[in-house]
Amino acid sequence: MTDFLIGAIAMANLACGLFFLRFWRTTADRFFLLFAVSFFIESGNRVCLSFVDPASEHLPLFYLIRLAAFGLIFWAILDKNRARR
């Protein structure tokens, strides 16, 4: 059951990444590109989680990858909201 849920989350992240990638292609806004990359990273992280033992899910590597994905989202939001000169 855990593998099924991890697969569903990975598929949802992949779909979100494709959704943002489509908006980036039409608007060429870096905000959408960073969101798409973030969701692709998170999807890859979930796929990697499905191949390891559930006990090793708490390894720092998986948290660092997740931190990088959320850091990209944070950076995209800050970049979008900073004042343009």
Query: What's the pTM value of the predicted model, to 2 decimals?
Result: 0.86
How confident is the model at residue 62, as a pLDDT?
84
- Kindly give the interhelix angle for 30-51 and 2-27, rounded to the nearest 10 degrees: 160
What is the SS3 assignment for 62?
helix
Is the distance from CB of 40 to CB of 14 less than 8 angstroms?
A: yes
pLDDT band at 2 (very low <50, low <70, confident <90, very high): confident
Residue matched to tokens 């931190």: 67
Over residues 22-67, the pLDDT tens digits come to: 999 999 889 999 999 999 999 999 898 888 877 777 788 888 999 9
The confidence score (pLDDT) of residue 36 equals 96
